[in-house]
Structure 1
Amino acid sequence: MNSGILSLWGIWDTVYQCCTRLQYVDREKNIFRIVLLRYRGEVLATADGQEIRPGDLIIKLHIHNYRLAKMFYGLHNETKMALLLRKRILESLPQLAAFVAALPQSAQIKGVVGTTMLSKGAEKLGFSVSQVPLTPFFRYKRWYLKLMIRLIHPDGAKRLSRNQDLVLNRVYMSKAELFRRYLPEGSEAGA
């Protein structure tokens, strides 16, 4: 990606942020943006035996793609990119847990749910993973995320041609597991 496209993306990202309900966990340091909403979808059984059901209050996770693109700018080694992404996610999860614990609605939140093509290794971080149904919405989201890969990854077009069937997955974790793994003891104000 060239610097001109990255600059335009930064402008678009600012407009997009203003037009959505996305909240920053930490504008400067965190890879996630979130939306608090009611879950709509099939029942999700988490790794720790809990269920996220339709109507449950959840945190919808969004990776901040523009921040990701800036992080990857100038990198051409896929392994370095994967390690950097993993490092940023590991740094962001404790902050996310603290953010969720501090929300006034924290006691009602059942878990965190995201949709991504970057789910490799998610189980090791405490997430459960399942494929999304191929509804029109998820077909559109798959197309959009492929566009993001094309823009963010230095060899995005080649990567997409090698992996014709990139799978769109749902990653999810119960709030209890998020707190158990990533929230310092004694910080569970709303849990």
Structure 2
Amino acid sequence: MEWLRHIVQHGLRGVNGCYRLLHRLRPAGEVLYVGRIRYRGAAMEFADGTRLTPGDFIGTLHFNNARFAQLDGESNRRAALQFARLMLESLQILAHKARHDPAFSDLAVFHALSWLPPHGQRIGFITQPYPHGASRRLRAAYFRLLVWAFAPAAQTRASARAEPTLYWITRKELLRQFADAEPMRSTE
């Protein structure tokens, strides 16, 4: 069955590469890509006073799925700790970009859709469940495929509940949490 996982990984890497090119995503560390789009949802106001209105540009955060297959997969705990370290490094780089890169310094909010259960409040993320409906079921199925293909630990592949969750972090909160730390790695 491992041979099938490798074939699916190869296909998904191609899909992800095309998606990155089409949406002009740029790396922010080893596990994140960042893009920008116009927001099309309802107006929102965040606890720090940041307002988001339809038509505003927002940053979009996307995982580097192929990088997950390279994590140390001896146990799901070990892989999770390695991912957490790489994610914090990526967020430091993102904060640096939000402060210094003209392509991202005007973005007031960053947004992601992930299969990971709600977490990250300690480092400034706000989470919301993805709305119920056909889109949720389709995204959940895609996330299950991604986890099966790329999760390094068999235990993670077997136990992950790939339910879509919306993640938000404001530029103010990102900078408050991560701007003082210099980026540990460069990806440019």
Does the CA-based 8 Å contact 1:33-1:64 persist in structure 2?
yes
Match of 2:62 in 1: 62
Query: In 2, distance between residues paired with 1:35 and 1:59?
Result: 6
Query: In 2, distance between residues paired with 1:43 and 1:114?
Result: 17
The 3-state SS of whatever aligns with 1:59 is strand
The 1:51/1:62 distance shift into structure 2, 3 A limit, reads: same
CA RMSD, Structure 1 to Structure 2 (Å): 2.8
Match of 2:26 in 1: 24
The 3-state SS of whatever aligns with 2:111 is strand
Match of 1:96 in 2: 94
Deviation at 1:53, TM superposition (A): 2.8
Does the CA-based 8 Å contact 1:111-1:175 persist in structure 2?
yes
Query: In 2, distance between residues paired with 1:106 and 1:11?
Result: 25
After superposing on structure 2, the runs of 4+ consecutive aligned residues of structure 1 that deviate more than 6 Å are: none
Query: In 1, distance between residues paired with 2:148 and 2:177?
Result: 33
Deviation at 1:10, TM superposition (A): 7.6
Higher mean alpha-carbon deviation, 176-185 vs 15-24, is at: 15-24
Q: Does 1:8 align with 2:6?
A: no
Counterpart selection for 1:109 from 101, 107, 110: 107
Does the CA-based 8 Å contact 1:126-1:177 persist in structure 2?
yes
Residues 41-80 of structure 1 mapped to structure 2, 5 A cutoff: 41-72=41-72, 75-80=73-78
Does the CA-based 8 Å contact 1:97-1:182 persist in structure 2?
yes
Query: In 2, distance between residues paired with 1:152 and 1:141?
Result: 16
The 1:71/1:92 distance shift into structure 2, 3 A limit, reads: same
Structure 1: runs of 5+ lacking an equivalent:
186-191
Q: Percent identity?
A: 20
Deviation at 1:101, TM superposition (A): 2.4
Deviation at 1:11, TM superposition (A): 5.4
Deviation at 1:152, TM superposition (A): 2.2
Deviation at 1:17, TM superposition (A): 5.0
The 3-state SS of whatever aligns with 2:68 is helix
Does the CA-based 8 Å contact 1:47-1:173 persist in structure 2?
no
Does the CA-based 8 Å contact 2:111-2:169 persist in structure 1?
yes
Structure 2: runs of 5+ lacking an equivalent:
182-188
Query: In 1, distance between residues paired with 2:118 and 2:176?
Result: 22
The 3-state SS of whatever aligns with 1:71 is coil
> Scaled by the length of structure 2, what TM-score is found?
0.78
Q: Deviations over 1:155-176 (max 9, x none)?
A: 355325xx4xx43111111111
The 3-state SS of whatever aligns with 2:108 is strand
1:132 corresponds to which letter in structure 2?
A: Y
Counterpart selection for 2:176 from 166, 177, 180: 180
Query: In 2, distance between residues paired with 1:119 and 1:22?
Result: 27
Counting matched residue pairs gives 177
Match of 2:142 in 1: 144
